[in-house]
Amino acid sequence: MTGPLTGITVVSLEQAIAAPFATRQLADLGARVIKIERPEVGDFARAYDDRVNGMSSHFAWTNRSKESLTLNTKHDKASGVLHSLLATADVFVQNLAPGATARIGLDYETLKERYPGLIVCDISGYGDNGPYTQKKAYDLLVQAEAGFLSVSGTGEEMVKAGCSIADIAAGMYAYSSILAALIQRGRTSRGCRIDVSMLEAMAEWMTFPMYYAFEGAAPPPRAGASHATIFPYGPFIASDGKTVILGLQNEREWAKFCQIVLEAPELVSDERFATNASRSKNRTALREIIDLAFAGLDSDQLLARLDAADIANARVNDMHGVWEHPQLKARDRWRVVGSPVGDIPALVPPGGTAFAQRMDPIPAVGQHTDDILTELGFTPSDITSLRATGGI
């Protein structure tokens, strides 16, 4: 079965993570994604590292199933190429520096009259107005501005997320907003502008801790891998030195935890631990009791008791553990995709059950330039001239 976005064309002036992650997901659903890159070097995310047989891990993650067209947007013939692409495009995505598309006539206000059905998605750090508009907005910086760092880590040290969470948040909102805009266009025949900022995406994700600190109340404390306001909920060490994560959500689970896991039913009626609020307040004393009980159980025994009590639990996997995760294998979540450095494994995108998810190769820099330009009506001599003058 073809993907639901088959027949949709996306042109993307993209770099780094947020926009490429959004457009890769559109490609997963069958959209044709034409990725415009700098001549020779391409998207600078190609050079972040060389961990995938010489290719960047970030680039491998966010760029399969795309066509790569190299283009110097400052070249005097670039405008003709860009407008030839946009004339038949459904979606235009960009996450260049603030004001960059306006300088080359590709802002929404300029495009909407010429292409009334075009959906334009602008992804930026802080949006196109306000005092932060011109500030650089790398993922870690936005984690800081959005308050994420203030509630992540330990009492002694803040800690950033181990993946590009601000980029991912912005990319996901861009992706879902584009899908909604396509539905709207189907009803109205009109395109629109989508304005996604990394700060606003992260601020939405931070709404729980913001409400927790409502009207000047104390914010959630940094609690490491433990939950800041629920206890016990977090990591505990078994006798074999391995870490097990467990989490309790209600008083029924607390009773079963005491009776089956700790084998200390008397704790159920201990006033110090009668409610989550009191358990959280007295977490130091409760942790000592739990640690003493767990000192006699290895991780397999502990996990078995937690399962018997129907208490939520998890092993702490490293990346090698995720590569070999038995649940991902059992659900057949791995495929092989091509790339400039050979075939590599890739996870099947979540959610695809009613249609086949597209998982085509990751492109080399400019791999599709000649084919795309030929499709747009450029002659071999036109292409040769563009290449000779640094246009592609």
Mean pLDDT of 184-202: 97
- For the chain, the first-to-last Cα distance in angstroms comes to 35
Q: What are 44-85's pLDDT values in tens digits?
A: 999 999 999 999 999 999 999 999 999 999 999 999 999 999
Q: What is the pLDDT of residues 291-331, one digit of tens each?
A: 999 999 999 999 999 999 999 999 999 999 999 999 999 99
Report pLDDT for 351: 84
User: Which of the four pLDDT bands, split at 50, 70 and 90, describes residue 1?
Assistant: low
Q: For the chain, which domains are there?
A: 9-205+327-388 (3.40.50.10540), 233-316 (3.30.1540.10)
What is the C-alpha separation between 139 and 136, in angstroms, rounded? 10
Average pLDDT score over the chain: 95
* Cα–Cα dist 129/119, whole Å: 20
Give percent of the chain above pLDDT 70: 99
Cα–Cα distances (Å) from 336 to 31, 342, 364, in that order, read 20, 10, 17
- Give per-residue pLDDT as tens, 235-289: 999 999 999 999 999 999 999 999 999 999 999 999 999 999 999 999 999 999 9
The arithmetic mean of pLDDT across residues 205-212, rounded, is 94
Enter the pTM of the model. Answer: 0.91
Residue 216 · residue 263 · CB < 8 Å: no
Distance, CA of 392 to CA of 389 (rounded, Å): 8
Of the two residues 182 and 155, the one the predictor is more confident about is 182
Cβ atoms of residues 10 and 34 within 8 Å? yes
